[in-house]
């Protein structure tokens, strides 16, 4: 049977959440995981999902996943695929699951006339960076990521309300 990639289906929520928790632990971000199986079910398997997941399996046993959504580039005038999370269990790394997941995402991007496939990686994650470079992915070092969350997000949202 070997390695296969499939779309996530209802019932995969616990598997995906487990992978998310393992990824967060690896990235030293476990304290940020508040997602639940119910959150994943509501997001991935609703009537009109805006986020999607792929499962990598070896001999029918899940060994990794990719969670992605479509974004849009005003410069290209086309959609793109944004890879939110990619995780392969340590005992399966180096066997092609990560590359197979990215290849499937590249196919999804191509099949949907997307102009790019992109993702973030922590700057200290040298094994992942080396892997991505081996695929000829290019680092976007000139860009800085900004984020609003929690109280600052609420404050800005409330400020906008006041101006309406």
Q: What is the CATH number of the domain that holds 142?
A: 3.40.630.30
Residue ranges making up the domain that contains 53: 3-162
**C-alpha distance across the termini of the chain, in Å:** 59
- What is the Cα–Cα distance from 164 to 157, expressed in whole angstroms? 11
| pLDDT of 107 | 98
| pLDDT of 86 | 98
Q: Convert the pLDDT of each residue in 97-127 to its tens digit.
A: 999 999 999 999 999 999 999 999 999 999 9
CB 101 within 8 A of CB 64: yes
Structural domains in the chain (count): 1
Q: Convert the pLDDT of each residue in 42-89 to its tens digit.
A: 999 999 999 999 999 999 999 999 999 999 999 999 999 999 999 999
Within the chain, residue ranges assigned H as helices are 13-26, 37-44, 97-111, 126-134, 150-162
CB 4 within 8 A of CB 56: yes
> Residue 10 — very low, low, confident or very high, per pLDDT cuts 50/70/90?
very high
State the chain's mean pLDDT as an integer. 95
Percent of the chain with pLDDT strictly greater than 90: 96
| pLDDT of 160 | 63
Q: Which residues contact 5 (CB under 8 A, 6 or more apart)?
A: 54, 55, 56, 57, 100, 101, 104
| pLDDT of 164 | 60
- What is the Cα–Cα distance from 121 to 104, expressed in whole angstroms? 19
Residues with a known catalytic role: 132
């Amino acid at each position: 049977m070997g390695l296969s990639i499939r779309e996530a289906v209802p019932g995969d929520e616990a598997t995906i959440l487990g992978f998310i928790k393992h990824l967060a632990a690896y990235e030293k971000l476990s304290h940020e995981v508040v997602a639940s199986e119910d959150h994943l079910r509501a997001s991935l398997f609703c009537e009109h999902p805006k986020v999607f997941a792929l499962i990598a399996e070896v001999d029918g046993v899940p060994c990794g996943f990719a969670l992605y959504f479509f974004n849009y580039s005003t410069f290209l005038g086309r959609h793109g695929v944004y890879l939110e999370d990619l995780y392969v269990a340590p005992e399966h790394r180096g066997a092609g699951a990560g590359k197979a997941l990215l290849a499937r995402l590249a196919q999804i991007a191509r099949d949907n006339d997307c102009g790019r496939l992109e993702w973030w990686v922590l700057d200290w994650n040298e094994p992942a960076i080396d892997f991505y470079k081996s695929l000829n992915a290019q680092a976007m070092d000139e860009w800085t990521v900004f984020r609003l969350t929690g109280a600052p997000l609420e404050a800005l949202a409330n400020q906008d309300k006041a101006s309406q």
